[in-house]
Amino acid sequence: MLLQHHYIPFETTRVSLFSDTMERELSAYFPGEKVSVLDHGELVVWDSL
C-alpha cells in the first residue's frame, strides 16, 4: 500500500496458497516461505498483513 500511495512502480506476483505447489512457489521468492514479500535486489523483506 505504501508503494501505491507514493506512486512507486512495482510488480505483484500471485502465489497459490494452500496448494500442492505452494512451498515450491514461495521458496522461489523467499526461503522462509512467508507472505507478503518485498524483493528489491539483494534486499528481501517479509511482513504479515
pLDDT digits (tens, 9 = 90+) for 1-45: 788 899 999 888 888 888 888 888 888 777 777 777 888 888 888
Specify the number of domains making up the chain: 1
Beta partners for residue 46, in sequence order: 37
Q: Would you state the pLDDT for residue 49?
A: 56
Contact 24, 33 (CB under 8 A): no
How many residues does this entry show for the chain?
49
Q: Would you state the pLDDT for residue 6?
A: 94
18: domain range? 2-46
Residue 6 backbone dihedrals phi, psi, to 5 degrees: -100, 15
